[in-house]
């Protein structure tokens, strides 16, 4: 039975638009991440899931340990739901959330803040001192590749932390160590130019090789500099992403890797060679009219991914085969017109299945998601939105 036929059989009694997760594919992807991690614990990135029930399923898989949250308020909420180790992946200047964290000893023990600037640290220290608690921080180190050829300079990777060299990291750690109420727990290196880029060309693959080589040296130097500055051994050195798990764990300095998109496998991950893409998340729309031969219109669908406004960020119709978005309208706010390239027709009431360009973002558009196994819905669970939560 084809994918679309299975999803139709499982959800035909449910109204669209609707979101589904194929549990067999999800579990296979989780197992693959564990295999590629080769014994190094995998921290699951919540932004690429945004469904608490799915996070809990993944965390119950041997080899996974802890969550990387994308929001401080989300991290506090997850800690109160029983997640014992939550690393916030991005700095926060939410003073209300910092105060809430510092006022809750259990949450403070479970959550680690991300910092790369003393201004962020000072806000956390103020909350910690006010409540007489200790807040843990992780230093975000710029993992981009910087190349110099004479007077030419190139920055290959995303613009994240301003801290790049071992000297800069050590200086920041030394300054943090002088703040009351704050302890440095570890370091994070997110090599976006390795983890977040498909293996689409020889040039990209060359950049990845150079980046891995650069980090193999620089990461260890940064760890040594921070250890000397704070006077104690670091608990964690986090690195990687779904596309770089196997290269990250090759560095003995790394104590854990993060992965999230590799669970649902959105369309932006289709060209990766480092693992076998098994798409696990879909959304279904119903055809509501047929405006002309060769065209059909589905209700809903304007779920465009973040990033540069290019065609790669649009959702992709995957079943029935032979469908495409129209170039003038694309995925629409209320309706999505489709061109029938290799099909004779679609009829009113037919269901079309799409994949999103990114992983967890699509879950912000649905209150619940149907967990499908085979031809049946095993469970229907709320997304973050379905639990009445919006973390940005």
Q: In which residue are the tokens 């880029």 written?
A: 197
Q: Provide the percentage of residues in the chain whose pLDDT is more than 90.
A: 78
Res 9: pLDDT: 97
Lowest mean pLDDT among 75-79, 153-157, 259-263, 373-377: 153-157
Band (pLDDT 50/70/90 cuts) for residue 217 is confident
Sort strands 351-355 and 135-141 into parallel, antiparallel or unpaired: unpaired
Q: What does the block give as tokens for 34?
A: 């564990």
* pLDDT(385) > 90: yes
Range name among 37-46, 135-144, 159-168, 177-186 with the lowest pLDDT average: 159-168
For the chain, the first-to-last Cα distance in angstroms comes to 39
pLDDT of residue 161: 84
CA distances from 209 to 35, 150, 193, 247, 259 (A): 21, 21, 10, 9, 20
The hierarchical CATH code for the domain 281-382 is 2.40.37.20
Whether 237 contacts 187, CB under 8 Å: yes
Tell me the C-alpha distance between 113 and 138, whole Å.
Answer: 6
What pLDDT sits at residue 164?
84
Instruction: Give DSSP secondary structure letters for 30-64.
Output: HHHHHHHHTTS-EEEEGGGT--HHHHHHHHTSTTE
Answer yes or no: is pLDDT of 213 > 90.
Answer: no
Averaged over 109-114, what is the pLDDT? Answer: 98
Cα–Cα distance measured from residue 392 to residue 390, given in angstroms and rounded to the nearest whole number: 6
The pTM score is 0.92
| The predicted structure's pLDDT at residue 277 | 82
Phi, psi dihedral angles at 284 (to 5 degrees): -115, 140
pLDDT in tens, 173-206: 999 999 999 999 999 998 766 655 565 666 566 5
- Cα-based angle 371, 375, 378 (whole degrees, multiple of 5): 30
**The pLDDT of residue 269 is above 80:** yes
> Among 208-212, 270-274, 275-279, which stretch is predicted with the lowest mean pLDDT?
208-212
pLDDT value at position 244?
A: 85
DSSP conformational letter for 70 = S
Cα torsion for 164, 86, 176, 391, to the nearest 10°?
Answer: 80
Average pLDDT, the chain: 92
pLDDT digits (tens, 9 = 90+) for 309-365: 899 999 999 999 999 999 999 999 999 999 997 666 899 999 999 999 999 999 999
pLDDT > 70? residue 156: no
pLDDT of residue 32: 95
CATH of span 23-262: 3.20.20.10
Domain ranges of the chain: 23-262, 281-382
């Amino acid at each position: 039975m084809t994918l679309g036929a299975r999803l139709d059989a499982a959800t035909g009694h449910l109204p669209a638009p609707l979101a589904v997760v194929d549990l067999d594919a999800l579990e296979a992807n989780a197992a693959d991440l564990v295999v590629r991690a080769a014994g190094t614990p995998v921290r699951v990135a919540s932004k690429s899931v945004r469904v608490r029930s799915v996070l809990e399923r993944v965390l119950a898989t041997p080899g996974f340990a802890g969550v990387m949250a994308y929001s401080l308020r989300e991290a506090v909420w997850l800690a109160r739901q029983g997640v014992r180790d939550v690393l916030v992946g991005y700095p926060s200047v939410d003073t209300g959330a910092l105060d809430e964290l510092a006022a809750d000893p259990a949450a403070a023990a479970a959550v680690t803040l991300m910092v790369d600037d003393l201004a962020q640290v000072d806000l956390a220290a103020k909350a910690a001192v006010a409540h007489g608690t200790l807040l843990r921080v992780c230093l975000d180190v710029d993992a981009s590749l910087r190349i110099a050829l004479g007077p030419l300079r190139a920055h290959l990777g995303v613009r994240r932390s301003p801290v790049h060299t071992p000297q800069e990291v050590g200086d920041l750690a030394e300054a943090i160590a002088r703040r009351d109420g704050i302890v440095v727990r570890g370091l994070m290196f997110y090599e976006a130019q390795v983890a977040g880029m498909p293996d689409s060309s020889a040039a990209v693959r060359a950049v990845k090789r150079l980046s891995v080589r650069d980090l193999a040296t620089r990461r260890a130097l940064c760890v040594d500099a921070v250890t000397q500055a704070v006077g104690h051994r670091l608990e964690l050195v986090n690195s990687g992403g779904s596309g770089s798990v196997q290269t990250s764990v090759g560095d003995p300095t790394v104590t854990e890797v993060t992965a999230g998109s590799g669970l649902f496998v959105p369309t932006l991950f289709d060209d990766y060679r480092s693992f076998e893409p098994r798409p696990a998340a879909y959304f279904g729309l119903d055809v509501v009219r047929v405006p002309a031969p060769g065209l059909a219109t589905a209700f809903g669908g304007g779920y465009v991914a973040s990033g540069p406004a290019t065609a790669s960020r649009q959702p992709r119709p995957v079943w029935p085969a032979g469908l495409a978005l129209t170039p003038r309208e694309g995925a629409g706010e209320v309706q999505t017109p489709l061109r029938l390239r290799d099909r004779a027709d679609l009829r009113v009431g037919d269901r079309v299945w799409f994949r999103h360009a990114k992983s967890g973002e699509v879950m912000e558009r649905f209150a619940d998601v149907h967990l499908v196994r085979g031809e049946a819905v095993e469970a229907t669970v709320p997304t973050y939105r379905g639990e009445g939560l919006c973390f940005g």
